[in-house]
Structure 1
Amino acid sequence: MAVPLLALLANTIRAGLTALRTKIAKAWFKKLVKQVIVKKTLNKFRSPGQILARNNKTSFWRKGSMYFFVYDAKHKDTLPYWDAFPLVIPIERYRDGFLGINFHYLYPKDRAILLDQLQAFANNNKLDETTRLRMTYRSLGNFTKLKRAKPCIHRYLDSHMGSTMVPVNADEWGTALFLPVERFKGKNKTAVWMDSRAKMLTY
Structure 2
Amino acid sequence: LIGADQDTFTGLNFHYLPPKFRAILLDRVNAKVGRGIINWKKISKIPQVAPTVKKYRFDQIMRKVIPIEENEQEIAIFLPLERFRKASKTSVWSDSKRKFG
Asked whether the two chains share a fold, i.e. TM above 0.5, the reply is: yes
Aligned residues of 1:118 and 1:133 also touching (Cα < 8 A): no
Aligned to 1:174: 74
Give the TM-score taking structure 2 as reference length. 0.84
Give aligned-pair identity as a percent: 35
**Residue type matched to 1:108 in 2?**
P
Change (3 A) 1:166 1:188: same
Q: Secondary structure at the match of 2:67?
A: strand
Q: Secondary structure at the match of 1:184?
A: coil
C-alpha distance in 1 between matches for 2:48 and 2:80: 19
| Relative contact order, higher structure (CA 8 A, sep 6+) | 2
Unaligned 5+ segments in structure 2 are none
Give the TM-score taking structure 1 as reference length. 0.45
Superposition misfits of 4+ residues, deviation over 4 angstroms: none
Aligned to 1:48: none
C-alpha distance in 2 between matches for 1:101 and 1:114: 11
Greater fraction helix: 2
Aligned to 1:155: 55
TM-aligned CA deviation for residue 179 of structure 1:
0.8
2:5 is aligned with 1:98: no
Greater Rg over alpha carbons, structure: 1
2:30 is aligned with 1:121: no
Over aligned residue pairs, what C-alpha RMSD do you find? 1.7
TM-aligned CA deviation for residue 163 of structure 1:
3.1
Aligned residues of 1:105 and 1:152 also touching (Cα < 8 A): yes
Aligned residues of 1:108 and 1:178 also touching (Cα < 8 A): yes
1:1-203 map, 5 Å: 90-119=1-30, 120-123=32-35, 132-136=36-40, 138-139=41-42, 140-141=44-45, 146-201=46-101
TM-aligned CA deviation for residue 167 of structure 1:
2.6
C-alpha distance in 1 between matches for 2:26 and 2:7: 26
**Residue type matched to 1:172 in 2?**
E
Aligned length: 99
C-alpha distance in 1 between matches for 2:64 and 2:91: 28
